[in-house]
Every structure is written in structure tokens, then in C-alpha cells.
Structure 1
């Protein structure tokens, strides 16, 4: 079979969908999509480039700039780092949509999820593809506007490494048995689309940020609220359809998918800190102290709480190994949190 024929027929979940249990029921949130979708009704957000003393990004969400070693470099350096963080946020959005979400939603829309899904659910996936392409487009466009308005160059995509979630997904996939590989991309779609709406919630209300930045994030968040509900439904169809063996194989890796999405990009931050003149040991210190391990685990657990509940409701935590993995990651129960691979201390050193 030729490579393009193979690509056309590849499924996210392998095997014959007709042989899998089916979950009835799907309540569409896309009946008024033409009226509500950002791509249909929201204007292009224009960055004015006026210097009003506003912050480019909430420093609390990028705590390296609050560290004394960084603050000592002066306000100009801190402002430059926050601008770079805004660039990185926009580039992350573009890459997340193009590399992770659109491919999964496209497979669902084409009936190549490997599950038997309601026809309306597949039709709604087309709308999600359109939404996400718009999010990637307006993020890229806005970054170009900022570059023109501030005269501060952003990193060229071809000169920057892939975002951390890509490397983390590769590592996760390598740990899965060959027969279940592919499910991790569907799981990551569920993880990212059910968690991103919470991440975006506070930024539009932060009056320290330029109005166009807040409007852009608000546009994104409104669409993602509907995506959250949709991908929660995907999980409700996915988990019962998996065999016991498949659940046992992929379940313990769900916390790694959560971490792949939520954990900061330590390597990227360390590289930026080296760029402002900090030594390697100082970079490691700043990254480690900006994201203390126990505090970070609690933050991730709080952010992931709705998703953890969804997996519990689906029955994923009925498997002891999966429940143990959630507990060890601090996502479930009260067991001590075990350090995960790729902690700030390990990466930045």
C-alpha cells in the first residue's frame, strides 16, 4: 500500500471499530456555531504598538521574571522577557493547534478515529478544525503585528526547537506498546482541549495587559469552552470502547500527557535566561526556584482537577496501575508526590 493510501486509512485507535462497544448519546454544542464561532463573528485584533506601560504577559504566569536574579537586571530586561513570553505563548498556540489538535479533529471528522461515533459528532469535528485553524492563524498574525509595532524580532520558527509538548509526546509514545500507539494523540487532544479553557480564563480580565492581547485571548477562550465540552464527550466514547488490555496499557500514561501539556518549558526558559547574561548555575537556580517542585505539582493538580474527575467518571481509575500513576503524580488521593522526569532541577542544570 502506498504511503498516501496508508495515511488516508490510519486510525487513532487501531482495530475494527465495529468490534468495539459503543456509547450512545451526544449533545452537540454547535447548533449555533455560525453565530458564536470566533472565526465567524470576531474581528481581526490589531496590536497598536503604543507604549502605555502595560505588561505584555502576566508575570505571575512566568515567575522567572519575579526572581531576584532576574529583577536585578532591571525593568527593561524584565519587560523584554515578558514580551518574549507573549511571543512564545502565541507560537505555542499555533504549534499546538497545527501539530496536536487539528490532526486529531481531522481524523475524527473523517471517521478515522477508530471509534463508532455519532454522525453529528463527526460533523462537529469539522467545525473544531475550522476553529483551531483560525486560532493558529490569528496567533501567527498577531505575533507579526507585535514584531512590527515593537520592532523587537521574534524567533523564526525554523530556527527554534519544537515546543516541549512535542518532545514529551515522543517520549510518551516510546513507552507504549506498538499495538496501542496512536491513542496517545487522542488522549493528548482530550487533555489539551479540556484544560486550555481554564488556563485562558484569567488573562482577559488582567487589566495590566494591552487591550488587544486580552481581546485575542478572550476570543480563543470562548471557542475553547465549546471544545472542552466536545472532548469530554470524546473521552466518554473512547474509554468504554477500549479493551481491558488497552486501558491498562495507556491509563498509567495519562498523567504524563497532562504534564506534557501543563508543565513549563524549562529548557526554553533556561536558554532565555542565558541570553540575559546569567550563568548556567544561575539559570538552574532561577528555574528551580521559580517553579518549586511541590508548588508546581499542586498547581498542576489544581489545573487538572476537572480532567481527573472526567477520567474517574469514565472508569479509568478503576485500574490499580492507572490509579497509582495518578496518585504518584499528585493528581488523585493524598499520597506523597514523586518527582517526575524532567523536573526544573534536572532540565536547567
Structure 2
């Protein structure tokens, strides 16, 4: 078992047979001076601050729904506190389950790609960063519980963050010979998207100062990770065979949605805890996250990542381009032509 796990690659097949790209510009030269694990203190939650939200309400629109707002400030604040807990749990699980294992494989030369030595060395630093993010998120959640007396709900015995089950579904859609590459793909997607998600929270003065500082620490590290995993994508796509690209490319939108789509199940759990019936929960969720709005928001959040995939030629395949269009990640064919998202090679 352990020997098999040691040898297992994220992308199967002989590494030497794949095209190699030796270009890599490191963003980790000053890691010792910049990484939050090296220079930032432990963030300490000192208790509730009057008039402050635990989480931006606009990012958790169920609390703005009339059916919830009418229940009073205490219910709204309680739901926002649980949303903060969920965010912290999501961070810990994302780093532990999705990013650290991939960065570890890269660092040990078991990505399935022929990567520059400096790139492998930098992956060690990412493992350290992400372990710190997981640790300080869990630690901060524990501090909040101690300070408020309100435990986090739904973390024990649940299915976990929704990205976990969505990622399993993606894996099932891959040919057996390619299973494992979805982990690499999801790490690329999540690490290039998360820096944008974190960008506004540190500037939101409505939040407790310790929350803003914690997210700022995370965001600064993730800016470097964004650049790194964009480079991983530039090494990955040219190394794939045409048949591998055809199998993997149409699944990219699913990986994007797995990361960006709201966790409806966790929201439903919290709404049930405040006394809503199943029908009321369905109504609040559907009206708080209407499908067209979710689609629009995901498209906007992923626009830069879509350009990254276009730059490496992923959208040259017509089926991959179709899957991006169906997911709303690029416009219609005319708009795609303007943006340069036209398949140069239509594969049968």
C-alpha cells in the first residue's frame, strides 16, 4: 500500500515521453521574508465587536432574504457566524485534502510532469504555507468558539465541503488511466481562483479586525501561489497527448464550478437550524442564489482563469470550448471569436 502510494503519479505514464518545458520564473526568492508563516503573528480573536458582522452579508445572501431578515438581528448574526466557521473549515479542508497532497507530489517529482528543479523546490514552500493556512484557520475557529460560546455546527458527521463530493464526481468521469489528474487540475483551478475570492474581505471594515488580518495573511501568500499554479498549467497542457486533452478539457468547467458554486447543502443545514421548513429552505436558497446569477458570478470570477486555459490551447478543442460555453464561462460563438476563443484544431 505505502509503496504504491509512494510511486503513484498525479498524471500517469512515463515522464520522459512527455514534452518538456524548462521555463519557470520563481516568485519565492524572498519567501523567508514574505511568507505569513515566517513573518505574521498568530491572529487572536478578542471577542465580538459591537456593530460588526462576522462575514460579509453580500457573500452569504440567505441572510438578506426577507424570510431570514424578519427573524431579527440575532438570527442574522448567528448565521453569519456559522458562515465564518464554514469558511474556516473550507480553508482547512481545501488545503489539507486538495492542495497539500498535490504540492507534495510535485515537490517529490511525482506529478507525472518533467518540471524544473526550482519549481519542485518551491512546491515545498507551498506545502508549508498551506499547512499554516489550515492550522491558523482551525485555531481561529477554536478561538471564536471559546470567545462567543457558540459552537460551529454541521462540521461533525457531515459530508464535508461541497467541493469534496463534486471532485469525486469529476474523478468518476475520467478514464481509469487518467484518474489522479483531477487532483492536479483542481489544485490549479482553486489556487488560481482563491486569491481573487480573498481580495475584498481584508478591506471590509464591517468585519472584526482579527478576521480581516487573518484573511489578509492568507491572501498575500495565495498571490504567489496563483502565479505558481499558472506555471503548472503551462507545463501540464503541452505535456498531455491529444486524447488526454480531449478527455480532460471538457471537465475543467466542472472543476471551476466545484470550487466556486455555493455550498447549498451546508446553507440548508443552517437554515433548518433556525426553524425553516424544507419548503422554506428551498425557497430561500433558490431566491438567494438564482441560477442565472450564480452562473454570471462564476463566469466573472473565473474570467482570468478561462483566459489562462485559452492561452495554453485548452480551448482549441471544440468539445472543450463547447463545455466552457455551456457552463457560461465564455460568451456565444461571436463573442468567443472576439476574445480569441476559437478552436484552431477541431478534433474528431
TM bracket (short chain)? over 0.9
Q: Which runs of 4+ in 1 moved over 3 A?
A: 155-158
Give the corresponding residue for 2:208: 210
Relative distance call for 1:158 and 1:283 in structure 2 (3 A) is closer
Q: 1:169 aligns with which of 161, 167, 172?
A: 167
Q: Does 1:125 align with 2:123?
A: yes
Change (3 A) 1:60 1:256: same
2:251 is matched with which residue?
Answer: 253
Instruction: Name the structure 1 match of 2:79.
Output: 81
Aligned residues between the structures:
334
| Counterpart secondary structure, 1:159 | coil
Alignment of 1:1-349 (within 5 A): 3-155=1-153, 157-334=155-332
Q: Hey, what's the Cα distance between the residues in 1 that align with 2:185 and 2:275?
A: 40
Q: CA deviation at 1:335?
A: 6.4
TM-score (structure 1 length as normaliser): 0.94
> Aligned Cα RMSD in Å?
1.1
The alpha-carbon deviation at position 333 of structure 1 amounts to 2.2
Q: Is the 8 A contact 1:328 1:335 kept in 2?
A: no
Aligned to 1:340: none
Instruction: Return 326-335 or 134-143, whichever deviates more.
Output: 326-335
TM-score calculated relative to the size of structure 2: 0.95
Q: How far did residue 59 of structure 1 move?
A: 0.3
Superposed CA deviations along residues 284-331 of structure 1, whole A, max 9, x for unmatched, are 010001011111111000000110000000000000000000000000
Identify unmatched segments of 5+ residues in structure 1.
Answer: 337-349
Q: Deviations over 1:194-249 (max 9, x none)?
A: 00000000000000000000000000000000000000000000000000000000
Give the Cα–Cα distance (whole angstroms) in 1 for the partners of residues 253 and 333 of structure 2.
15
In the other structure, the counterpart of 1:346 is: none
Q: Return the offset for 1:160.
A: 2.8
**What secondary structure is seen at the aligned counterpart in 1 of 2:302?**
helix
Helix, strand or coil at the partner of 1:277: coil
- Match for residue 343 of structure 1? none
